[in-house]
Structure 1
């Protein structure tokens, strides 16, 4: 936060900055909550955390060895909780590395029947030397873990873990502690539940560093109990919310002079509001079309130009009370499920500071700040289709039923070594008339799926796949045949009887030749940031320098000898890799050079000797 410009679009923060460890610290654990999720973003996150050089998302996605090593290093230390049935579909086939996210992602449902809607990151960093207290970082966002490029708002707080309990954190502690128990279908993995409990304990004792001009920070969570929180409103009101309902807005602006109330939302949402609601706001504003791009791609304009967006997604409630300005940000929209009934699980942070320092509501929305990207809303009659609305409702009902049932994928190896996937469901789901359902394994793609009319305990053969393409994720397409409306999404299943060799098969598919193997060895041995930079620079091409290097590269042998004097992590990583890529009977491998295997046997004997003396 800079000066008194809390909502100034020039205050930019890259996602990678939020995830980056402070100097002198390593990431120890990371927890994220989101409503929707896409696999590409989930794959990039571990690489971003592991390799600080990975600033470019597409560059990272096009470097599979970096994705692989990010997952290998950190997937067990990352927990992502998302709404069941809200993982985006991948009809053309997903990256097979999504299999390594199976224990990272847990699908959950809101306990009071609404949506699981909080968006936060909680990260714990530990000193590299092992001395000193851990640090926490809390990030509250308005965006989901997806590729959407929208106008968003975030708050990032750093703090230290001490001995005293801080009551202000109690709502957050309750939310984090409740997450494993909200799992839908497949239970939360034990190691994830243990990590989350430890994070909740540290969170209860976290003391936060306040942004400039902020005197107090308060947290609130809705949707876990029947107690519903909403911001306290003073003499003025500014609402920034992409989704709005009449009841929530009327409750928020009760007692506020319309001349002192401003509403910023999406035009299609404002068009659905009652005229009585609109008259309670002196100004109703929408994002100017010039501030958006059609495809959400990065703008080539300089930083003073329009912020690239795909619509408004930020949420904020701003008010002046006594001599203070209060800004509430978080996941909740100005809607009844978020602020009136409390059905949705939402998280909020309210920041308070002197109005003379933080600014008024009018100042936060002034033309030289956020206001320069806004324009007056011109009322219009929305075009609605009762038939399509009814179809959307039917699709959503089946969507929720599919997300609520426990799906099981049973693996069975056939004579050709391929895996037959047998699909069943704990609870029966029957399709209404004029609706079709197609289900497919996400790595294989929609063409390799089956059409389903009913899901129940009776198994159906879903597909026959190579072991490396088996995951617990299935793609789903629901279609209303009357209107042609469709919903595409991904569901998680409980994967049973999975052969232990799957991870090794995935590694063999990615490390397909000796060049790739040696590039990966360099990544394991090198400094994290420098190794990543080299790998991204090489892309998927390039050639290796041989086991003993050349005049441009540090020899691998030298790096391995240096690793012996460290903590041994790199050599343990190499042992894990060599074991997975080698034939268990002969110890040989098509992708590992023979001279490296001979060299590695020498290192193995040294490592064993060190362990005996350890």
Structure 2
């Protein structure tokens, strides 16, 4: 179940609709967010494709993924924790209406990591999926854990079982400014929360006998309600970050037992612990050879390589013949337990099937040579995190909690943007720039103006850079903007679909995913797409005829694309007329269905 060498999960498969289903609405939460990783989630949710597909670099493919999911997806993240991309591209603009930043009390954070997705098949039968993770929506390759539940509507479902999950979604609406959440998406989110009360989630495992959603920090759901802080006979904790007081509390909850408990953490956290706080625990950290053995790329910069470590949050405890396993976002820290908004899934079972020894066997392996972890003693002289870095993060956090706004001004085809930050005083070590024009840096101040911007350089995303004495950090923030032109998506579509060849590729893709994927992969290998007007157009019309009978919704999607394309030279002669004929048939068939 937890063997690092074999029990791997594919993030794409956790989100992609099951065969025969399509995504209706999805809500995700994360602490930190990578915009390119969000694009990958859109590929999985909208096109049922892997996020590491070769076509992730094809802009036609990405544009369709974003177009299909833009009105069906909300991702909530901690304000100030959107990673600055190594290189921004125009498709990032389409993510603006998906991303909602949450800024709670100054010293607390929005830290849950879950997905709740509703799918439907052609018969309008609904399927719901809840994915609980320790992983952020980034490209971080540290070790994480996740668990996935699926369920269907059931009139006799136990609403008490899903009420905590429903309450969590309702609470999200109250955490954001009403201007930060699109009205239509707000309704969809509230509708999803209501529907969950009648969903019967099932455990597809004989190991577990029951489960419980634990939205810590949501009103009515705190430390006491979680059940995590109760006495036990044996316990295993995996937490990358620690507070001595919380670990000490777990230590005191241990009952008399011949077993030693296990705490797996990062080596940098050991300096926070006192010997008496871990007297009943054996301590383990990841071996240096494993930490340095696999490179991960951070913030889209191929030259910025970092080592991996654990990022999983897991608590397994046993008492008599019963076991409880908690998986999710909760670190063993004061801020996590007593202030942050977190989300955990509690799984219960019998000790004979779910126990610490079996879990250790999975994680540590059968011998020391293959064990990625090593037992350690406390090292008070271990290197502490850089105070400078922590201070820079605090500046970002404070900046994101200022009241801010922006307004677009147009003059002669060029644009200017005026920004304001209420209560902020100019600082020489904090810079801001438009996401799409990072070279236009200015010192952050109460009032700022950026001039001479093109349409596709306008964005609600801005890069904030804080420069310290030793290092600097960059983050993306989102600022609500008035008077934003509504034709940016059309401009993006026209810049990506450059000619009739690409128009046919795109429309064919809408009608038949597999056909176009195969075509585009061949085109990528060849380095170009050789356009033969007659054969593709004939095949395209055949697919439109088939869609008229079996998938009329695809013709509605084509209509949306036609509305975006402003240059008629990119559309084959006669296409609009034939499309109109097909649409008349669709409307006629729809009328017959209503009559019957």
Same fold, judged at TM 0.5 (above) = yes
Q: State the 1:370 CA deviation.
A: 11
What do you get for the CA RMSD once the two structures are aligned?
A: 2.7
Q: In the alignment, which residue of structure 2 is the partner of 1:277?
A: 277
Q: In the alignment, which residue of structure 2 is the partner of 1:300?
A: none
Q: In the alignment, which residue of structure 1 is the partner of 2:212?
A: 218
Q: In structure 1, how many angstroms separate the alpha carbons of the residues matched to 2:106 and 2:347?
A: 28
Structure 2 gaps, min length 5:
298-305, 592-596
2:134 corresponds to 1:158? no
After superposition, the Cα gap between the structure-2 partners of 1:609 and 1:561, relative to the gap in structure 1 and judged at 3 Å, is closer
- Taking the TM superposition and a 5 Å limit, the aligned residue runs for 1:62-141 are 62-90=57-85, 92-110=86-104, 113-130=107-124, 132=125, 134-141=126-133
Structure 1 gaps, min length 5:
298-307
Q: In the alignment, which residue of structure 2 is the partner of 1:575?
A: 559
Q: State the 1:19 CA deviation.
A: 1.0
2:526 corresponds to 1:505? no
Contact 1:266 1:286 in 2 (8 A): yes
2:228 corresponds to 1:263? no
- Taking the TM superposition and a 5 Å limit, the aligned residue runs for 1:375-454 are 375-382=374-381, 389=387, 391-392=388-389, 394-415=391-412, 417-425=413-421, 427-431=422-426, 435-445=428-438, 447-452=439-444, 454=445
Q: In the alignment, which residue of structure 2 is the partner of 1:302?
A: none
Q: In structure 1, how many angstroms separate the alpha carbons of the residues matched to 2:273 and 2:518?
A: 51
Contact 1:62 1:539 in 2 (8 A): no
| TM-score normalised over the length of structure 1 | 0.86
CA displacement 1:485-536 (0-9 Å, x = unmatched): 322101001121122221111111212233322221221221x344334334
2:8 corresponds to 1:12? yes
Q: In structure 1, how many angstroms separate the alpha carbons of the residues matched to 2:310 and 2:177?
A: 30
Q: In the alignment, which residue of structure 1 is the partner of 2:169?
A: 176
Q: State the 1:99 CA deviation.
A: 1.3
What is the DSSP-based 3-state SS (H/G/I as helix, E as strand, rest coil) of the residue aligned with 1:506?
Answer: helix
Q: In structure 2, how many angstroms separate the alpha carbons of the residues matched to 1:370 and 1:196?
A: 48
Q: In the alignment, which residue of structure 2 is the partner of 1:559?
A: 543
What is the DSSP-based 3-state SS (H/G/I as helix, E as strand, rest coil) of the residue aligned with 1:21?
Answer: coil
What is the DSSP-based 3-state SS (H/G/I as helix, E as strand, rest coil) of the residue aligned with 1:10?
Answer: coil
Using CA pairs below 8 Å that are at least 6 residues apart, which structure has the higher relative contact order?
A: 1
What is the DSSP-based 3-state SS (H/G/I as helix, E as strand, rest coil) of the residue aligned with 1:125?
Answer: strand
Q: State the 1:564 CA deviation.
A: 2.5
Contact 1:139 1:156 in 2 (8 A): yes
2:378 corresponds to 1:374? no
Q: In the alignment, which residue of structure 1 is the partner of 2:460?
A: 472
Q: In structure 1, how many angstroms separate the alpha carbons of the residues matched to 2:107 and 2:272?
A: 24
Out of 271-280 and 469-478, give the one that drifted further: 271-280
Q: In structure 2, how many angstroms separate the alpha carbons of the residues matched to 1:567 and 1:385?
A: 59
| TM-score normalised over the length of structure 2 | 0.89
Contact 2:14 2:148 in 1 (8 A): yes
What is the DSSP-based 3-state SS (H/G/I as helix, E as strand, rest coil) of the residue aligned with 1:318?
Answer: strand
Contact 2:22 2:46 in 1 (8 A): no
Q: In the alignment, which residue of structure 2 is the partner of 1:57?
A: 52
After superposition, the Cα gap between the structure-2 partners of 1:95 and 1:109, relative to the gap in structure 1 and judged at 3 Å, is same
Contact 2:41 2:51 in 1 (8 A): no
What is the DSSP-based 3-state SS (H/G/I as helix, E as strand, rest coil) of the residue aligned with 1:448?
Answer: coil
Contact 1:323 1:354 in 2 (8 A): yes
Contact 1:16 1:55 in 2 (8 A): yes
Q: In the alignment, which residue of structure 1 is the partner of 2:302?
A: none
Q: In structure 2, how many angstroms separate the alpha carbons of the residues matched to 1:60 and 1:379?
A: 48
Q: In structure 1, how many angstroms separate the alpha carbons of the residues matched to 2:154 and 2:105?
A: 32
What is the DSSP-based 3-state SS (H/G/I as helix, E as strand, rest coil) of the residue aligned with 2:535?
Answer: coil
What is the DSSP-based 3-state SS (H/G/I as helix, E as strand, rest coil) of the residue aligned with 1:542?
Answer: coil
2:539 corresponds to 1:531? no
Out of 136-145 and 161-170, give the one that drifted further: 161-170
CA displacement 1:58-84 (0-9 Å, x = unmatched): 624311111100111122111111111
After superposition, the Cα gap between the structure-2 partners of 1:529 and 1:378, relative to the gap in structure 1 and judged at 3 Å, is farther
Q: In structure 2, how many angstroms separate the alpha carbons of the residues matched to 1:253 and 1:170?
A: 32
Contact 2:548 2:586 in 1 (8 A): no
